[in-house]
Structure 1
Amino acid sequence: MDELALQGLGPNADNGSRDRAMQYFEQLKSCENGWKLCAQTFTSGTYHSNDHVKFFCLQVVENYLKKNYRLGSKDDHDIVKSFVVALLQIEGNGASQNKNFIRNKVAQVVSLVYIVDYPHRWPTFFTDILDTLRIGPMAVDMYLRILLAIDSEVVDREIIHNQEETQRNTLIKDAMRDQYVVQLAESWFMIMTGYETSHPEITCQCLEVVGKYVSWIDINLVANDRFVTALLRFLSNNLLRESACDCIYEIISKGMDPVAKTKLIESFVSLLESQGVFNPSEDEEGDYLSKLSKLVNGIGVSLILAWQKLVKSNDQENTQITLQALEHKIPFMLRFLGDEDDDVSGAVTGFAQEYIALLKQVVPLTPSQRENVEGLLYTIISKMKFDESYNFEQEGEDEAMFLEYRKQLKVIFNNLALLDTDLLIGTVLNVVTRTLPVWESTDFRDVEIVVYLMYILGEAVPASHGQHFSGNPTKVSALQEMMRLLIKSHVSCQGHTSVLLQFFETVVRYDKFFQCEPEHIPEVLMAFLDERGFRNRSAKVRSRTSYLFSRFVKGLKQHMNSYLEDVLKRIQDLLALNTPDNGYQHLLSDDDQLFIYETAGVLVVASDFPPEKKQELMKNLLAPIANKFEGLLTKLYQENDEDKQLAYAKCVNNAMALASRTSKGFSSQQTMKQCGCIEAFTELLKIFLHALNTPVHRQLLHVGVRQYMHRMVVCLGEEILPFVPIALENLLKQPETKELYDFIPLINQLIMKFKTDITPFLNSLFMPLVSTIFQVISTPSDERDQIAANEKKMLERGYFQFLSTIVSYQVFDVLKAQAGQNLDQVLMSLIQGAVELQDPQSQKMCFNIFRKLIEVWGGNDGILGFADFMYNNIIPACFLAPLKPTFDLTDGQTTLALGESALCLKSIVDKRGEEVIIYLQSDYLPKLNLPPELIQEFCQALRTDSKTFRNYHKIFFTKAKS
């Protein structure tokens, strides 16, 4: 062995040594005799104290066994067999005292030999291994490890095998059943009982092996008097009982005939009950209880599966027997589901869900089944309650796990609602009416759960046509009673964050209740506005209520008119900008304020006031922004400290965002013009445009201005147009690629809204914008700067999108109004985009633009010179682009671009007729050195319909490029 290379295996080796060790590893793997050297090294004992070298050697041997051993010679087989025998001796006598990871790797290596050699090349494999058991406990441990490794290779259903491996595994299992499983089962019993006192860990390991193998061996080898007696004995041994539980679980989960399965389970349960296994003491260990809960879950699910099979086979007598057996297990399920340890409870939720699904098939329910359902419902409600240990101030992993567990319980709750809606509604109503009137003397956890139950009732019993207060009369009546109690009890004054948050979530979910009984609105509004909501000491409550208030107001805006001015007055201080000057001492974060401004805007717009009053209210609402904006800009310019500069820039950006969100209250039914609020927003726009001149954090501020202008395009009419040239003028002074790209959607939005009405405005805007785009794209940048390259690519795409919007919305006069040289420049940029750019999306857009121009200008009445441009440039582009080596006909996006080029050609033929086909046949296509028959075929296809030609078009270029 290369001693120097082996030094790189230790944990303290440097990178160079590790690289050498890896090279040596690869060398030994590829060398014909490398594995032999490693096998000899491992068994020689030279490195008996170096785990890293031993593991290294085993990995090389493992690689050989996986890749080449199957085709190895007789001599190689003999060497491998001798190596395995030596391994069993070394690991069995315990002299080496190898660590577990080495022993596990040895077991894996032996299992790899086994799956190749058994049963043909090494039929006595198990005889030879069983002979080693007399050596002692270390040999027994290795034997069990090997059996577990064999299970992983041959049986484990989670490992995906190919067809050849599956056939091999079937052959191995059949041979084992015929020759060895009886001996193996006998060895397991001897090991389990022989080591239960002296080496309990070996008994546990043996129980794991039994659990793995029972799925495919004869059940009677394990489910017999002596095995079961031993298993029951182990259940009273603290060191063995968890493994015994798992083993019994695997036995009862074995696939079997349903009648036999029921009998097996009943015999096991009878014995377990007689020993009081399912009635453990209250102070029992959690890990053991989790295992018992898993066992109860397995019993229940297995019986339900057996019942389903019997139903399908129409065996009514045994179906009833199995159902009765199942019903007797429900108390066990309820006992473990209700355990205070959530891990114990969670282990049996599968049984609960499957039982509910079964009951849906046997309705109407018997009185005992209805009792079971009621017991299950109350157990679920009890378990949904927050534990005393729940930390509401600092929610960590334990809290997250409980919330996840609560979701599982909610699924069961919802399923119970589908099974018996009236029972669920009645139970929730009973719990709510019992608790809410006495909330002041009740633990907050009990209060929170009843409000939570009200909340989730809305999901469990879905709304009728989106309306909780119509449809099911039982639900409507119960919800109305509960909602009145929720408001009138003043439970929102309880104070705990969990109760408050659940209160606000619930009133918002059932906001339609307040349409029926609007007299309760003031109480809820006050809860939002005072220390229960926006002014709560908890930032979490303040933040969530900001959002929920927005939803509440939107749902009830027609009822808010009488409260509008009072609400605006009470939130006045919450509208103040959060700036570096006030040290961010604001109750609400920037994001929370967005919801407050939006909600206030909705209230003003939805009010019954005349336009003059709405304008006044809106100006007052926006005053904190209007009054402070320019001062903040000035401080941004004057500030030298970079951190403070960024803080002011974020503040300015946020101010614009707040104004944008305020405009969300307007709609097509209540426009800005109808509400008389145009002046309030255009005055702000004038101020905001000053931010475009900023010398610092330009990108951040431009985002704010653009966002606001996008909103104004939506809300204003032509009043927005005078401001766009000012914005563009500032933008074009020192444009950055991304800024320019981000500005294009705003222009596109204007075109889409105003269409041909925007022509005079676009005429003057068009060429300065296009020239700036060309200039920015052509400015050289570092070839290694991938970000800059991507930004230029996006700008090119944005430019083509701009032209596409112009032609799609038929603003052709803008293009016609450009000087001839300028129009030629634009048209040639489209040719370049279609042919030269390696960007299928841009290519597709360019061909699409040409197709629309052809439809308008391609005839004899088109603009001067366009016909020549079609023949000299567009037609060649339709061939040159697809013929390029970089044009990948197998790529989906590229295929779309090819389809557009086909439609382009078709549009030219539609406009110019037979002259195009004659030109292609006699002039252009022969210049491409294409075979005459292919030219003839192409021209013939051009005379067909568009769909047929598009399909042929791809075939043509596939042939032309081959």
Structure 2
Amino acid sequence: MDEQIISAIQIAYDPSANPALKRQAFDYVNQLRQEPSAWQPCLAISLQVPRQPMVIRVYCLEIVNNAVQGGLVDQQGLKTIEDQLMTYLRKFYGEPGQTDTPDPGTIVNKFAQTVTFLFSTFYGAGWETCFDDLLALTSTGSGPKDNYPGLIFYLTVLNAIHDEIGDQLLSRSRAEQDRANTLKDLIRARDVQKIARSWEEILSHWGTSNDVVAELCLKAIGKWVSWVDISFVVNQSMLELLFQQLERAQKVDPRKSEEQARDAAIDVFTETVAKKMPSADKVNMITFLNLETVVSQLVTCPPLRDSRASNYDVDLAETVAKLVNTTTVDIVKVLETETQGSPTWVKAEQLLVAFLPHLLRFFSDIFDEVCSTVLNAMNDVLTFLRRTSQGENASAQRAQMLLPILKGIFLKMRYDDTADWGQEDEQTDEAEFQELRKRLAGLQSAIAAADEQLYIDAISALVHDTFERLRSEGSGLNWRDLDLALHEVYLIGDLAVRGGGLYQKNKPNSPAAEKLVRMMLEMVQSNTGSFAHPAIQLQYMEISVRYSSFFEKHSEYIQPVLQNFLELAHHPSLKVKARAWYLIQRLIRQLRGFVGNAAEAVVQRLQDLLAIRAELPSEEDRDDMSSDGDSATDSTFTSQLYLFEAVGCICGANTVPSDKQVQYLSAVMQPLFVDIERNLEAARSGNELAGLQVHHGIMALGTIARGFSDFNPGLATQGSGVEPSPQAKQAFAQVAEVTLVSLTALNSSFQIRTAARFAFSRLIGMVGTQMMQQLPQWVDGLLTDSSTRDEMALFLRLLDQVIFGFKNDIQDFLDRLFSGLLQRVFAGISAATAGTDDEIELAELKREYLNFLMVILGNDLGAILVSARNQPIFDSVIGSIEHLARDVDDFPTAKMAFLLLSRMCTVWGGPDVVSATGQANGSVPGPQPALPGFDQFMITRFSPLCWALPTNPSFNSKDAQARQALSEAAGLQKTIYTKTGQQYLTWLQEKELRTMGMNDNMIAEYLQKLATMEPKAFKVFFAKFIAQGGQIPAAKASADLPGALPHTFDNLDELLERPSSIDPSTQPANLYDQFVVESVKMAKSKNSSQHNQAKKAHKNGIKKPKTFRYPSLKGTDPKFRRNHKHALHGTMKALKEVREGKRDAA
């Protein structure tokens, strides 16, 4: 078998092997992993002398390791592996003068892994001498640890054992963690002293003569210190050895191995500080280790002396920063947990003051990875200072700590002098820098919370100084300085507009807002927008838009700022230009009431940017596009649409005369009309580019309409946008005509239908009732045989908008198109689905269909559904709603269906016969439906639907959406009852409920709830009724309970509502009667203490509802309370068993 395994592995890993043979070999070697006995030949192969090739040994050791770790080896097998492995290790790793070629590092690591897995499985019972055996490999005799191969192996195993049982970052199951804890306890009890002693001996013998051994030993110490007694590391002899290793940092040009050993020594201090211990011990340990001095010496060592020098050691900086971060975090924890002013707290505060300069040193490091290492500590420090400052006035001592931190943040917020903005190869660095800026902004916010005035003053000074330099130096100012100032202007707004805006009662709303106004004045007065750097231009525009309310109070600066925006809209950089197109739209919209006098200039200045040049996506773009996404080559047009919206917005400003509005609109729209007309015939002939050009033109026209006005006829009385003038309406009517002509000609194109639907929704408010005459044409164009369900749903949503806006004018048009429209919708709903996307679109179409009908009924247009023209489809409409109300796979749609049915009952059911709680309406003696016979229709068609969901085997009463649907089903029953009264109750009693297996008591109980409960309470009752009974037929299970109220009562209040037929003076016949008699008698007692005792008993015996509160029982007889509680608790338990069929009711 050995030869077979060796041959299979050789073939499997031979690049030149026959593919078919190679597959067979792979199958064979993979099967070995599952074979319980495969470890035996694999162990022999891996230990064979002469040695097999490394790939064979590695794979064989992997098989052995999997078997040990996976529990495939019994105790005897584990002992065999240990004996054979240790024999090999003693011969080749432990004997002095060994002349054989040493095992390569990969094999050493694999053997170490095998020993680690053996240790985990076998150390508790079977291999108690594990560490003694390993330590024996480190010496050639009884002397010092002088055997290099054995040392390397021993230290490698120590590191691997920690990774297996002590690494806190490793996710473990509960059983694995328990086993790891047990192993650590055993090590502490048996071997930790000899292991710690070996560390000292190894560092003493090898610490300065062999960097590899020193590094491995230091790594082991750094790992193990987290879970062994601290005294094994923090003692005089060990510390001397550790400090000796730190001296490596003073070397000017160390070897790589020396650097690694040095960094490992620093990590030992970091892990020692991070060890959990009481606050006083932690402070004393930091002091004893003299860490402040250690860090000071490291900070000034040659590799860290100058961060801009070529020999600056970033790895060392990160390592020391980690030590500073860990120490500072622990110091802050002590300050937060100890009582202020206590000896421990005072010592911790002194340590924080001592470490703060080191924290700032690494926080301000020019390398972002070093800065990021101490961000956690910096955040903790600022959080602590913020908490301690609450309710206190600003102090000089706190300012001394906060101001250097804030200045350090400013320094890190600034672009590095070596950074080049906008370069392709700098994009990753740029993204990382912006992410760092976000984290730094959080630190700034913490400083603002700790000392707001200091924060405001520091930013004000920075910004003021920078704008002063801009005035004096002009373009000679370093763009990075100006970018930093603008970035801080942008950020201070988070504080300045915190109260809801920059101004309140025409004055800045806070000191921060007042400072921001001054900064904005300096920004516009220094002509920042003309600074010739893209980063500055983008910041300038973002700030101007974000604080546009500033220009409302300083309108004299609007024209110069608007001129800057128009210049930047023509910027040679696509990134700047595209962003300017979006921001100019935002600026004009926000300052619409102030820019009308510039309308002509804006339109003329943007005219050259409004020429549309459609581009077909490249093959690469087509491959990358999502199903509904724009191609990369067409992204320019997406940005260009913002310009069309800006033009529409400024043309529609109230200060622009009506004739001028039309004149400016015409100047922009006429070229679009001509372009659409020029491309229409080619698009009809199948020219894809021409079709895309038409699509773009329609989208542009619709976007102009969107910008021109927000007017919605249906919201005219609620302060919506201003209604367009007759001249403007006529201009947009021409847009509607051009769009409709294009749609009619190209309605087979999905793109054109999408653009036309977009334009239609924007033109409704612009054109008004004139569009109603074209509504059938729009329907024919937008809904074709090839229209998707998504298109149908979107169009129904559009019609909702039309109905809402023109309900007084639309009835005739809607009546004519209703049947045809619904036929298309029914076809879409009934079509087969082929995947998740189709199912999502189908669910959306169903809901939009129901909402469409709801909107019709809600706007007094219900007559359309039953008109002579639409009468033939009415039964199909009702049938479709009934079908959707039964759908257990789509509860949101079922809920909407029940809501719609309730609405129909309200609209066509006539006046209420009774109130919701059963009071008769004297003026209405009986049902008077608006539609003849609709009272019976509601009862016979709608009412049974309320039970359709819960009687479905797939219904899950625990589903939250299912409960919502049930709630609306209960609402439908209530509505039918108010419209038909006793007639409905009689139907339920004689027909509906009895056919479901309910007995007389259950029926009477249910009808009483329906007739007397408020609608909200009945909805809760109905949901509980269903949930506690599972499915309705299951009610039979408890129908035999004497006088039972099946599945309903959960607290005393519900029980008291139940009319009891039991005579309290008689002897209770069973447990249920006993429960009723005692509880009702006590709860109805005039004796308040007994009443309260009954409630307390029910509280203990029954799950307490969230809204039910019980009075206090202070002062009552404890014995009585206890006995009553136990009695009722037993009764409730017995009743539950009866319901579950575990106990006979009698």
Would you say 1:396 and 2:400 are equivalent positions? Answer: no
- Specify which of 502, 508, 532 is matched with residue 495 of structure 1: 532
When normalised by structure 2's length, the TM-score is 0.75
- Specify which of 108, 121, 128 is matched with residue 123 of structure 1: 128
For the residues of structure 2 that align with 1:270 and 1:897, how far apart are their CA atoms?
A: 67
CA contact (8 A) 2:977 2:984 kept: yes
Pair 1:742–1:369, CA change in 2 (3 A): closer
Letter in 2 for 1:405: L
Pair 1:822–1:478, CA change in 2 (3 A): closer
For the residues of structure 1 that align with 2:550 and 2:777, how far apart are their CA atoms?
A: 49
Which has the larger displacement, 630-639 or 659-668?
659-668
- Deviation of 1:690 (Å): 1.9
- Deviation of 1:412 (Å): 2.4
Pair 1:273–1:27, CA change in 2 (3 A): closer
Counterpart in 2 of 1:215?
A: 226
- Specify which of 365, 382, 389 is matched with residue 339 of structure 1: 365
For the residues of structure 2 that align with 1:718 and 1:175, how far apart are their CA atoms?
A: 88
Give the secondary structure class of the aligned counterpart of 1:679. helix
Counterpart in 2 of 1:298?
A: 326
For the residues of structure 1 that align with 2:601 and 2:133, how far apart are their CA atoms?
A: 91
1:798-809 paired onto structure 2 within 5 Å: 798-809=848-859
- Specify which of 773, 782, 787 is matched with residue 825 of structure 2: 773
Pair 1:48–1:194, CA change in 2 (3 A): farther
- Specify which of 641, 645, 648 is matched with residue 594 of structure 1: 641
Letter in 2 for 1:590: F
CA contact (8 A) 2:644 2:700 kept: no
Would you say 1:745 and 2:797 are equivalent positions? Answer: yes
Give the secondary structure class of the aligned counterpart of 1:396. helix
For the residues of structure 1 that align with 2:523 and 2:634, how far apart are their CA atoms?
A: 27
Counterpart in 1 of 2:676?
A: 629
CA contact (8 A) 1:752 1:809 kept: yes
CA contact (8 A) 2:929 2:935 kept: no
1:687-706 paired onto structure 2 within 5 Å: 687-695=738-746, 698-706=749-757
- Specify which of 660, 681, 691 is matched with residue 613 of structure 1: 660
Counterpart in 2 of 1:265?
A: 286
CA contact (8 A) 1:560 1:607 kept: no
Q: CA offsets per residue over residues 532-552 of structure 1, 9 Å max, x none?
A: x11111111112222222332
Counterpart in 2 of 1:568?
A: 603
For the residues of structure 2 that align with 1:277 and 1:794, how far apart are their CA atoms?
A: 64
- Deviation of 1:816 (Å): 1.7
- Deviation of 1:288 (Å): 1.2
Counterpart in 2 of 1:149?
A: 160
Give the secondary structure class of the aligned counterpart of 2:290. helix
Letter in 2 for 1:693: T
- Deviation of 1:193 (Å): 4.1
Give the secondary structure class of the aligned counterpart of 1:255. coil
Give the secondary structure class of the aligned counterpart of 2:291. helix
For the residues of structure 1 that align with 2:243 and 2:503, how far apart are their CA atoms?
A: 54
- Specify which of 545, 548, 560 is matched with residue 583 of structure 2: 548
For the residues of structure 1 that align with 2:907 and 2:80, how far apart are their CA atoms?
A: 84
Counterpart in 1 of 2:951?
A: 883
Q: CA offsets per residue over residues 914-941 of structure 1, 9 Å max, x none?
A: 4444444544556567888877776666
Would you say 1:451 and 2:451 are equivalent positions? Answer: no
Would you say 1:68 and 2:99 are equivalent positions? Answer: no
Counterpart in 2 of 1:374?
A: 403
Pair 1:675–1:560, CA change in 2 (3 A): farther
- Deviation of 1:461 (Å): 5.0
- Specify which of 668, 687, 693 is matched with residue 648 of structure 1: 693
Letter in 1 for 2:812: P
Q: CA offsets per residue over residues 362-393 of structure 1, 9 Å max, x none?
A: 66666565344333332322222212332323
For the residues of structure 2 that align with 1:90 and 1:653, how far apart are their CA atoms?
A: 86
CA contact (8 A) 1:594 1:661 kept: no
Pair 1:900–1:462, CA change in 2 (3 A): closer
For the residues of structure 1 that align with 2:822 and 2:635, how far apart are their CA atoms?
A: 43
- Specify which of 811, 814, 821 is matched with residue 864 of structure 2: 814
Counterpart in 2 of 1:243?
A: 264
Structure 2, gaps ≥5 residues long: 141-146, 249-253, 619-630, 713-718, 910-926, 1036-1146
For the residues of structure 2 that align with 1:866 and 1:91, how far apart are their CA atoms?
A: 98
Which has the larger displacement, 5-14 or 121-130?
5-14
- What is the CA RMSD across the aligned residues, in angstroms? 3.7
Q: CA offsets per residue over residues 495-532 of structure 1, 9 Å max, x none?
A: 011121122222333323323322222221111112xx
For the residues of structure 2 that align with 1:88 and 1:921, how far apart are their CA atoms?
A: 89
Letter in 2 for 1:122: W
CA contact (8 A) 2:850 2:896 kept: yes
Letter in 2 for 1:272: V
Q: State the identity as a percent.
A: 25
When normalised by structure 1's length, the TM-score is 0.89
Letter in 2 for 1:82: D
CA contact (8 A) 2:359 2:378 kept: yes
- Deviation of 1:702 (Å): 0.9
For the residues of structure 1 that align with 2:503 and 2:300, how far apart are their CA atoms?
A: 43
For the residues of structure 1 that align with 2:779 and 2:1010, how far apart are their CA atoms?
A: 45
- Deviation of 1:823 (Å): 1.1
1:838-877 paired onto structure 2 within 5 Å: 838-858=889-909, 859-870=927-938, 872-877=940-945
Letter in 2 for 1:49: P
Would you say 1:525 and 2:562 are equivalent positions? Answer: yes
Q: CA offsets per residue over residues 821-879 of structure 1, 9 Å max, x none?
A: 32112212222333368433333333332222233334442424544544554344444
- Deviation of 1:788 (Å): 5.4
For the residues of structure 1 that align with 2:556 and 2:65, how far apart are their CA atoms?
A: 78
Would you say 1:281 and 2:327 are equivalent positions? Answer: no
CA contact (8 A) 1:692 1:705 kept: yes
- Deviation of 1:298 (Å): 2.4
For the residues of structure 2 that align with 1:317 and 1:508, how far apart are their CA atoms?
A: 53
Letter in 2 for 1:524: V
Letter in 2 for 1:113: L
Counterpart in 1 of 2:53?
A: 49
- Specify which of 747, 763, 788 is matched with residue 712 of structure 1: 763
CA contact (8 A) 2:815 2:864 kept: yes
For the residues of structure 2 that align with 1:933 and 1:67, how far apart are their CA atoms?
A: 63
CA contact (8 A) 1:804 1:845 kept: no
For the residues of structure 2 that align with 1:694 and 1:193, how far apart are their CA atoms?
A: 92
Report the structure, 1 or 2, having the larger helix content.
1
- Deviation of 1:701 (Å): 1.1
- Deviation of 1:564 (Å): 2.9
Give the secondary structure class of the aligned counterpart of 1:589. helix
For the residues of structure 2 that align with 1:122 and 1:420, how far apart are their CA atoms?
A: 62
CA contact (8 A) 2:957 2:1026 kept: no
Q: CA offsets per residue over residues 275-319 of structure 1, 9 Å max, x none?
A: 464453213322112212222222322322233333x3x553332
Letter in 1 for 2:903: K
- Deviation of 1:73 (Å): 5.0
Length, aligned pairs only: 949
Pair 1:515–1:684, CA change in 2 (3 A): same
Pair 1:410–1:97, CA change in 2 (3 A): farther
- Deviation of 1:813 (Å): 0.9
Would you say 1:604 and 2:651 are equivalent positions? Answer: yes
CA contact (8 A) 1:90 1:96 kept: no
Counterpart in 1 of 2:1078?
A: none
1:199-214 paired onto structure 2 within 5 Å: 199-214=210-225
CA contact (8 A) 1:6 1:21 kept: yes
